[in-house]
A and B are shown apart, each in its own frame.
Chain A
Amino acid sequence: MESTTTTALADLVRRAQKGDENAQRELIVAYQHRIAGFVFAMTNRSDYVEDLSQQIFIKMVRAIDRLQAPSQFESWLFRLARNTCIDQLRRQKLRRIFLPFGEEHENIPEPAGAVDTEELDALRHALAQLRPQDRALLALVQEGRSHAEIAETLDTTVAAVKARLHRAREHLREHYQPDHEN
Chain B
Amino acid sequence: MKTEEQAWRDLQARASAQLRNGFADRVIRVAHGPQDSAWNALRAHASGQLRPSFAERVIRAARAAAEVPSLSSQFALSAATAAVCLAAVVLVQDRNALQNDERNLADWENIVMVAQDYDAMQ
Within 8 A of A (CB), among B25-62: 26, 29-35, 37-39, 41-43, 45-47, 49-51, 54-59, 61-62
A28 within 8 Å of B by Cβ? yes
- Give the bracket for the number of chain A residues in contact with chain B: 35 or more
Contact call B47/A37, Cβ cutoff below 8 A: yes
Interface pair A142/B58, CB less than 8 Å apart: no
Q: Are B47 and A32 in contact, with the CB atoms below 8 A?
A: yes
Known: A32-B47, A61-B62. A117 touches B41 (CB 8 A): yes
Instruction: Tell me whether A119 and B35 are in contact in the complex, defined as CB-CB below 8 angstroms, given that A25-B56, A179-B20 are known contacts.
Output: yes
Contact of B55 among A25, A115, A173, A176 (CB under 8 A): A25
Chain B residue nearest to A28 in the complex (CB): B55
The stretch among A1-9, A100-108, A121-129, A151-159 that forms the contact with chain B is A121-129
Q: Let me know if B34 and A119 touch, CB within 8 A.
A: yes
Q: Is the CB of B30 within 8 A of A61?
A: no
Main DSSP-derived SS at the A contact region: helix
Give the number of residues in B that approach A within 8 Å (Cβ atoms): 31
Given A50-B50, A176-B30, also A33-B41 (CB < 8 A): no
Q: Which residue from chain A places its CB closest to the CB of B49 in the assembled complex?
A: A49
Q: Is B120 an interface residue (CB 8 A)?
A: no
- B-chain residues with CB within 8 Å of residue A117 when the two chains form the complex: 38, 41
Q: Which residues of chain A have a CB within 8 Å of any CB of chain B?
A: 21, 24-25, 28-29, 32-34, 36-37, 39-41, 46-47, 49-50, 53-54, 57-58, 61-62, 114-117, 119-120, 122-124, 126, 142, 169, 172-173, 176-179
| 13 A–B pairs (Cβ distance < 8 Å), ordered by A | A32-B50, A36-B43, A36-B49, A37-B39, A40-B42, A40-B43, A46-B46, A46-B49, A50-B51, A50-B54, A58-B65, A119-B41, A122-B34
Known contacts A40-B46, A173-B32, A178-B30, then 4 further A-B pairs from the complex at CB < 8 Å, ordered by chain A residue: A32-B47, A33-B43, A37-B46, A54-B61
